[in-house]
Amino acid sequence: MSNYPPGPYLPPTEPYAPKYQQYAPPSEPFYSDTKSPYENDRFKPKKRVNDPIFLILFCLQLAAFGALSGIVISSWAKDSGLGGGLGKDSTGTHVSLNRSTVYLLLLVTAAALLLSAVYLMLVRAFTKIIMHITLLLSIALNIGICVYYWITKYYSGAIIFTVIALLSILSYFGFKSRIPLAALLLQVVMDVSKHHISVYVVAFSALIFQALLAVWFTFTAIATYTKWTPGNPSCETTSCSSGKVAGLIFFEVFSFLWTSQVVGNVALATLAGGPYGCWYYFGPRGEGDMPKHPTLSAFGRSSTLSLGSIAFGSLIVTLLELIKMILRAAENSANADGHPVEACLACCAACFVGIIESMVEYFNRYAYIEIALYGKPYITAAKDTWRLLQDRGVSAIVNDSLVGMTLMWGGYAVGLLSSLFAYLYLRITAPSYNADGNYTAPVVLFAFLIGLQCSLTLSSAIEAGVSTIFVGLGEDPQILALRAPALFALIAQTYPDVVQGVA
């Protein structure tokens, strides 16, 4: 408690007070409850490693991926990547992916980095407009998929997406009325980030790390195809089979998805427990109350003591994503074999798993913030998150979902543009391994995954700020009421229960 500065909080600073003076501050009783920002071990958790089992599992899978990568890449390098080059180059093997694909996906990664940064700049400049557009795009996408399935006589998917399309249309006006507040919170977070260069350091560090991970995964996947696809030169000294390739690629995709999840969530926890959490509880840096080096301290906690908890939550999402991918593959296979009943069941199961995955991802984001602020184990953080969401109800979810929808659409746009770039590159350069077009689908899929992951990692830095404000309002609303009463009053107009913390 000795580190907590005495005295009242200072009045709100720019840009909050002048812009929102028309909103009345909350009544006087809410100024009496002044909790210490360090209360209940906030920002100073106990020095213990949480969820050590999942920390060990994460390290083991990463070590296994590294060992496999070393084996296949060394073999691939020995064979000089089986030929191929940058641009139009017809040299190299005709059997499997070669060095040309590496150059292609490296270019895709660079493009994804640039597109991700540009999208965030556009969101800050045109927040409300882009939110309206993404909301309409979500509805249009549901309607488009529904119409496509009816035209192609894929009735199982058509029925499901008809229901989804109708629900999205009916919910449009409810979402639309929430856009001003959601846009305000997003703009506030972006304005706060201007005063904390560490936000951009963490975001771009995570993005670069994510890009390097994507490059590593790309080299490993291509080298795996090269080493064990039947017909390659390496098969003369080792056994090759399509089953072995499929199994190893499955593990590599699992490792890539899990590690990518962990990287993004470590960045989220670092920002929530660092600049955003400290801004909420201590005020702007200029007031002098904020602890020194909050971002470094938060990163130290999230990458060591809390890494097992973050890996735990990330593993759940990764497994759901893999199950959904398997069900989609089963659905496509059943459709190709002319089994509509099996295809319908697989489609329903995939949609159900997708809904669960989205709910878990949303839930986990708040759990990671609880972990970042308090140093809780994952299960404890999950219980407290459930309590928080039960108390705050649907209103908070709607506004937070608008921000997430805006950033998610940016991720899909970057992923689609990356895959389009990869497709056009394949068509123009016509590499030898893709003479019959068999490798177009996996290359385009790899490009989409790289673009999506890069964009979501960068946008998660902004989304972390919005979610941290929600957690702060749930746990300690009086702090924002003291420091920024006009902003608090505006939020309280939409959330009438926000004047009381979660019990």
User: Which of 323, 214, 207, 311 is closest to 267 using CA atoms?
Assistant: 207
Per residue in 140-176, pLDDT (tens digit) is: 877 887 887 788 776 666 777 788 778 878 877 777 7
The span from the CA of 257 to the CA of 188, in Å, is 31
Sign of the torsion angle spanned by Cα atoms 231, 236, 237, 238:
positive
First-last CA distance in the chain: 23
Residue 25, pLDDT score: 42
Transcribe 154-201 into DSSP letters.
Answer: -HHHHHHHHHHHHHHHHTHHHHHHHHHHHHHHHHHHHHHHHT-HHHHH
Residue 390 CA: distances (Å) to CA of 249, 354, 473, 503? 40, 22, 14, 11
Instruction: List per-residue pLDDT tens for the chain, 503 residues long.
Output: 333 333 333 333 444 433 433 334 444 444 444 556 676 666 776 778 999 999 999 999 999 999 999 988 887 777 654 444 444 444 444 444 456 666 777 788 788 878 877 887 787 778 778 877 877 887 887 788 788 778 877 666 677 778 877 887 887 777 777 777 777 777 778 777 777 788 878 888 887 888 788 888 888 988 888 788 777 666 777 777 888 888 999 999 999 999 999 998 999 899 998 889 888 888 776 565 677 888 998 999 999 999 999 999 999 999 999 999 898 888 888 887 878 788 888 888 888 898 898 889 888 988 999 899 888 899 999 988 888 877 765 555 656 667 777 777 777 788 888 888 888 887 787 776 666 667 777 777 878 877 887 777 777 777 788 888 878 877 777 777 777 776 777 777 766 655 555 45
Domain range summary for the chain, segments of one domain joined by +: 56-125+192-499
Residue 103, pLDDT score: 73
- At position 305, the amino acid (one-letter code) is L
Cα dihedral 9→10→16→19 (10° resolution): 130
Residue 36, pLDDT score: 67
The span from the CA of 94 to the CA of 186, in Å, is 50
Q: Nearest-5° angle of CA 444, CA 447, CA 450?
A: 155
**pTM, full prediction:** 0.72
Contact of 381 with 268, CB cutoff 8 Å: no
Per residue in 227-245, pLDDT (tens digit) is: 887 776 667 777 778 888 8
The span from the CA of 85 to the CA of 433, in Å, is 12
